[in-house]
Structure 1
Amino acid sequence: MIYEDIKNFSKQFEWRPKIENGEPGGFQKFIVVGMGGSNLAADLVKILRPDLDIAVHRDYGLPKYLDEDTLVILSSYSGNTEETLDAYEEAGRRGLPRIAVGAGGKLLELAKNDGVPHIKFPESNIQPRVALGWSLLALLKIIGDEKLLEESATLAEKIKPEIQEEQGKKLAEDLKNSTPIVYASHRNKGLSYFWKVSFNETAKTPAFANVLPEQNHNELSGFENTEKFFFLFINDGNDNPRILKRMEVLKNLYNRRGFKLQVLELQGSPLERVFSSVLLANWTAFYLAEGRGVDPDTNPSVEEFKKLIQ
């Protein structure tokens, strides 16, 4: 049950990932291949390590520009994601260095048979988007960031899911009859996108995300008058002062127009800021699903689509 998964989220940081079949070392460039919840951790790594050369590929195959200096990280929680398996095969054909991450399935089976390095998640029925702690730890292990790995271990005690639960419940009530739109700085793009997909998958509701300053140059014009949307602003005091000014001006503009909005302040260390927001997103989406009378655990539309394309 997703409720228990969210409630026990902080326990994920007790896990210590282990790379089987040898550890690929010495890489300075990375590309994470994954779909849905299996690529979300890469966006969070970008927030925590803005200096790192890491790209995300959400498609079949692989970009043509890749060479042997870039480590291909193939991430599929189920291990059976069609696009990721296709990229695994292409990486093999092109002789690109690769490593697989997942809970099992065909991906890890191929990696074991091919002698490819891989990391296996703990046994669980957890939803991929809620397994974000494990996913992040696996990526940190692969990129060799021991400092962040050590710091992440403290989140098992520092992150308190019950604190975000009440806030999420209240926010879900505010959002009950609205379509969420989440804004953040470009640096925190991964967080705004996580909020969006949590609303989509858990609450079964349309949701949208955008970043500043780009929003100010186009999307802003689309909201001259609206009562259907609820705007969530992810506010990070560590953002560029010019972005903070744009965020403040945009909030004031929307307030004057009577738009519904709420500011979500990021606090604590970089890891705490990221995962407190992740937890709040999970709780908000869960209680929004409950308030709308939909099942937060299943994704029937996605499963139906998968069957139709077979």
Structure 2
Amino acid sequence: MRPRLERYQEFLEQEYRSGFTKSDEYDISGVSEELAKKMRGGHFTRIVFSGMGCSAIVSDAIRVFFNSIRNDLEVHVFNDYDFAYLIPRSVIEDDRTLIVLSSYSGHSNEPVLAFHALSPMHHRVLLLTSGGRLGELGEEHGVSLARWTLGRPDREYPLFHVGQYFSILVDMFLKLGLLDKDHGPEVRALAQDLETDFTPALRELAADAAVRSEDSNIIMIGSPKWHESLLKLAKMHFNEIAMVPATRNYFHEFCHSEVATLSDPVRRHSILIFSDPEEDDYTRAKRENLVSLLTAPIPQNGNVTVTEVELDQPTFIRQYFTALEFVQYLVLDLGKARETASRNLISEAAGNPWYHGTTIEAENTG
């Protein structure tokens, strides 16, 4: 396969924005008539998503999006199969809760285990996958199935396509009756909006932040709005593409605990702060105070650098995907500075050979 950073750069420059216009690359013919009728009839008051890695990230983005449009549908996400400790039993057992098991490959073990554990609820389970073992189980047990049918997916790094996944789910959920308004035009317009939203100044800031983040511990902080959706995805990009460690935390929690580690660090630390105009006066003043403390010209700040990213675009969708483009370019520049070779640790640690380089190469040459 071509080197991941080469593929990543090509994706960013040629495919990232166009992905928002490809909202039709899915198939819901496998959704049962009974489940579709319940969704369109407003039977469900909650959705619970379960998935791992990128499959969970898309669910988190959809959850925050639903909150941003004040939809009455309550959304939960858990990233495991031992849901008894992650989701209230009353939520899982409620007949008005739709459960979506998401796995792009269909071979991740956790959603498969969740599938079996949730067998009493199969009549209100929707499988979201491109196929694999999860797809086979859906067909075998007659469980509703929605399939991703992306035309040009990057097999090793599904996180490339979060923008397209998001666009597809907005279109899919409208057709299934889980959204009462068509937000597709706004999502598809991102292909043009990002040309102005992702300004040359933001690209320059990303390049500068990448230089200042070399050989650093990367710490991302933001409000709850951004912590679960944007920062979770950004962390995956830092980990999987640049292959550098990164952490994320809630802004107020960080100020009450983790900030102590920056008192006089021996190692370099790169702090990325994401904020938006919806912050209240207390939060904004507290953030300004934190930045002033960490950028003061004193010896203890010698190994600390701070980058502020103001998400001032007019809608949540434009804020989210402008910030994601900023992160992606920062990751690209940082990854090039290190050029770390992958050991396929993700597929091996997760026990999912579908993502492994040797599996992909064998299928491509077979």
Q: Same fold (TM over 0.5)?
A: yes
- Residue 111 to residue 138, structure 1, CA distance change in 2 (3 Å): farther
**Which residue does 1:16 correspond to in 2?**
23
Q: After the TM superposition, which of the residue ranges 65-74 and 163-172 deviates more from structure 2?
A: 163-172
1:270 aligns with 2:316: yes
Is residue 68–residue 96 contact of structure 1 (8 Å, CA) maintained in 2? Answer: no
1:36 aligns with 2:57: no
Cα distance in 2, alignment partners of residues 21 and 146 from structure 1: 23
Cα distance in 1, alignment partners of residues 60 and 281 from structure 2: 22
Is residue 101–residue 138 contact of structure 1 (8 Å, CA) maintained in 2? Answer: no
Percentage identity across paired residues of the two chains: 21
User: What is the SS of the residue equivalent to 1:131?
Assistant: helix
Paired residue for 2:349, among 301, 305, 309? 305
Cα distance in 1, alignment partners of residues 108 and 322 from structure 2: 29
Q: How many residues align?
A: 307
Is residue 127–residue 146 contact of structure 2 (8 Å, CA) maintained in 1? Answer: yes
**Which residue does 1:243 correspond to in 2?**
283
**Which residue does 1:186 correspond to in 2?**
224
1:53 aligns with 2:74: yes
**Which residue does 1:169 correspond to in 2?**
207
**Which residue does 2:239 correspond to in 1?**
200
Cα distance in 1, alignment partners of residues 9 and 181 from structure 2: 31
Post-superposition offset of 1:222 = 2.5
Post-superposition offset of 1:223 = 2.1
Paired residue for 1:216, among 250, 255, 270? 255
Cα distance in 1, alignment partners of residues 45 and 185 from structure 2: 20
Paired residue for 1:129, among 129, 135, 159? 159
Q: Considering only aligned residues, what root-mean-square deviation do their CA atoms show, in Å?
A: 2.4
Cα distance in 2, alignment partners of residues 137 and 108 from structure 1: 22
Post-superposition offset of 1:110 = 2.8
Is residue 106–residue 131 contact of structure 2 (8 Å, CA) maintained in 1? Answer: yes
Cα distance in 2, alignment partners of residues 308 and 107 from structure 1: 13
Post-superposition offset of 1:69 = 1.1
- Residue 196 to residue 308, structure 1, CA distance change in 2 (3 Å): closer
Cα distance in 1, alignment partners of residues 330 and 277 from structure 2: 23
**Which residue does 2:3 correspond to in 1?**
none
Post-superposition offset of 1:176 = 1.3
Gaps of 5+ in 1: none
Post-superposition offset of 1:156 = 2.1
Is residue 22–residue 168 contact of structure 2 (8 Å, CA) maintained in 1? Answer: no
Once superposed, which parts of structure 1, at least 4 consecutive aligned residues long, lie more than 6 Å away? none
- Residue 134 to residue 75, structure 1, CA distance change in 2 (3 Å): farther
User: What is the SS of the residue equivalent to 1:181?
Assistant: strand
Post-superposition offset of 1:182 = 0.5
TM-score (normalizing by structure 2): 0.76
Cα distance in 1, alignment partners of residues 52 and 352 from structure 2: 18
Is residue 49–residue 78 contact of structure 2 (8 Å, CA) maintained in 1? Answer: yes
**Which residue does 2:9 correspond to in 1?**
3
Q: After the TM superposition, which of the residue ranges 161-170 and 119-128 deviates more from structure 2?
A: 161-170
Q: Which deviations, in whole Å up to 9, do the C-alpha atoms of 1:194-228 show, x marking residues without a partner? A: 22221111111111111122222221223211242
Q: After the TM superposition, which of the residue ranges 115-124 and 50-59 deviates more from structure 2?
A: 115-124
Cα distance in 2, alignment partners of residues 220 and 280 from structure 1: 24
Is residue 68–residue 95 contact of structure 1 (8 Å, CA) maintained in 2? Answer: no
Q: Which deviations, in whole Å up to 9, do the C-alpha atoms of 1:120-169 show, x marking residues without a partner? A: 23133322212111322343333325333331011122223795655433
Gaps of 5+ in 2: 1-6, 354-366
1:255 aligns with 2:295: yes
Paired residue for 1:106, among 125, 128, 133? 133
Post-superposition offset of 1:179 = 1.4
